[in-house]
C-alpha cells in the first residue's frame, strides 16, 4: 500500500493548507519539464494529492488504506484482476484503464474512442522578492516568450475564408488504423490522423501566419499578483498561462518565490523579529525609542531594568494573516556596555556598586 502522507512529506494530521503547500513544492521540483523531474514521480505526487485533498477519499484512505469513492472496486470485487490498481485515484491528467485497452489492444474503434483534451506544456520560472514585497504583497509583470494561439486563424490552422472539407486520409473519422506487434501478437489500433490532427476535416488552404499549426511563438506580458505573507520556496500557479496547443487547453505557469534576506528583520512564522541595541542607562532606567519598521516609524517604551535578550512585543506589526489582522513585531534587546569610562562615570558606577546594584 502506498503511503500518500510519506509521498507528500506530511503528517497524518496535516491541514488542507499544509497538503496544498507540500503538493505545490513537490510538483514544482519533480515536474517532467525540469531536469530533476520524472513522469513516474510526478504522477505519484499527483495521485497522493488527489486523495488527500478530497475529504471523502482521505477518510476512506485513512480507514481502509485505499479509496473506493472514485469508482475503484474493493479487493473482494476485483474479479480476475485481483487487487491491482490500474488508475491513479481519479487524477484527471493520467486517464483510466479504458485508454490502455484502446491503445494497446485496439478495442472500441476510432469513432467510439473517448476524446481526450490536449494540453499545452507548463512553464516554470523563479521570481526574486525583497523582504518587504514578500510581507505585504506586490504585483509583477513579466515578459514570457511562449507558444500562443495564432491571431490570424484563431488556432484553427486554416486560412481565413478557406473552405473546409472532409479529410481524405481518415475519411472524416479523425483516426486511422495502425498495426502494432507485441509479445501477445499483432493488434490493430486506432491512432490520431496526422493529416487533420484528429479533427476529421481539413482546409483547402493553410494559414500562412502559423503554417497550419494554429500556434505561433510570441512574447506576452503576464501580470502576477503576489499575495501578502508569501514565503521563500512557495510556488504560485496561474492556470492557462503556459504554452498553448492546437485544439486543446494551455498549460499552467508555475512561479517559484525566492525572498532576499533583510539586513535588520527576520521572519519567524507570522512574526517579524529584529535586534535593538540600547545603552546601559536605558536598560537600567528605561526610556523611549523611535525605530523604523517595514511600514513606517513607531515609538516603543523600554521598561526599566530590562535584561539582555529580553523580547518586547509590538502587536499587529508583523506578517499579514489570511484570516485578517497581522502577526507581531518581536524586538530582542541587546544591552550595549560602555568600553571606555570617564573618571566621572567610573566614580558613579563605583557608587552604584557600593549600593549593591
Binding-site residue numbers for Zn(2+) are 150, 153, 167, 170, 193, 196, 207, 210
User: If DSSP codes are grouped into helix, strand and coil, which group holds residue 48?
Assistant: helix
d(CA 29, CA 26): 5
DSSP state of 228: T
| Phi then psi dihedrals of residue 250, to 5 deg | -70, 155
For the annotated binding site, the residues are: 150, 153, 167, 170, 193, 196, 207, 210
DSSP code string of 81-142:
GTT---S-TT-GGG--HHHHHHHHH-TTHHHHSPP--EEPPPEEEEEEE-HHHHHH-EEEEE
User: Which residue in 44, 33, 140 sits closest to 91, CA to CA?
Assistant: 44
User: If DSSP codes are grouped into helix, strand and coil, which group holds residue 332?
Assistant: strand
Place of cell 506576452: 220
Amino acid at each position: 500500500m502506498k503511503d500518500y502522507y510519506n509521498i507528500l512529506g506530511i503528517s497524518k494530521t496535516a491541514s488542507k493548507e499544509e497538503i496544498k503547500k507540500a503538493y505545490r513544492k513537490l510538483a514544482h521540483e519533480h515536474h517532467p519539464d525540469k531536469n530533476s523531474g520524472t513522469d513516474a514521480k510526478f504522477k505519484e505526487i499527483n495521485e497522493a494529492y488527489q486523495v488527500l485533498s478530497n475529504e471523502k477519499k482521505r477518510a476512506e484512505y485513512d480507514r481502509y488504506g485505499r479509496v473506493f469513492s472514485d469508482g475503484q472496486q474493493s479487493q473482494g470485487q476485483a474479479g480476475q484482476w485481483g487487487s491491482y490498481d490500474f488508475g491513479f485515484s481519479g487524477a484527471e491528467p493520467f486517464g483510466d484503464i479504458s485508454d490502455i485497452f484502446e491503445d494497446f489492444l485496439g478495442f472500441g474503434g476510432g469513432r467510439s474512442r473517448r476524446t481526450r483534451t490536449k494540453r499545452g506544456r507548463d512553464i516554470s520560472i523563479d521570481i526574486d522578492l525583497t523582504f518587504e514585497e514578500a510581507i505585504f504583497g506586490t504585483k509583477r509583470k513579466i515578459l514570457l516568450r511562449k507558444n500562443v494561439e495564432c491571431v490570424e486563424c484563431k488556432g484553427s490552422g486554416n486560412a481565413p475564408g478557406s473552405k473546409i472539407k472532409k479529410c481524405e486520409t481518415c475519411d472524416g473519422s479523425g483516426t486511422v488504423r495502425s498495426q502494432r506487434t507485441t509479445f501477445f501478437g499483432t493488434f490493430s489500433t486506432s491512432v490520431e490522423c496526422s493529416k487533420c490532427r484528429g479533427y476529421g476535416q481539413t482546409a483547402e488552404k493553410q494559414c500562412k501566419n502559423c503554417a497550419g499549426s494554429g500556434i505561433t511563438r510570441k512574447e506576452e506580458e503576464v501580470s502576477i499578483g503576489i499575495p501578502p505573507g508569501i514565503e521563500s520556496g512557495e510556488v504560485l500557479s496561474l492556470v492557462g498561462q503556459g504554452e498553448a496547443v492546437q485544439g486543446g487547453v494551455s498549460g499552467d505557469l508555475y512561479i517559484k518565490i525566492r525572498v532576499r534576506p533583510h539586513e535588520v528583520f527576520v521572519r519567524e512564522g507570522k512574526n517579524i523579529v529584529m535586534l535593538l541595541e540600547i545603552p546601559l542607562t536605558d536598560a537600567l532606567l528605561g526610556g523611549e525609542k523611535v525605530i523604523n519598521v517595514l511600514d513606517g516609524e513607531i515609538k516603543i517604551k523600554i521598561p526599566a531594568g530590562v535584561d539582555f535578550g529580553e523580547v518586547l512585543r509590538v502587536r499587529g506589526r508583523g506578517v499579514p494573516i489570511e484570516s485578517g489582522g497581522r502577526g507581531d513585531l518581536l524586538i530582542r534587546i541587546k544591552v550595549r556596555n560602555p568600553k571606555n569610562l570617564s573618571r566621572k562615570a567610573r566614580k558613579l558606577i563605583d557608587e552604584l556598586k557600593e549600593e549593591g546594584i
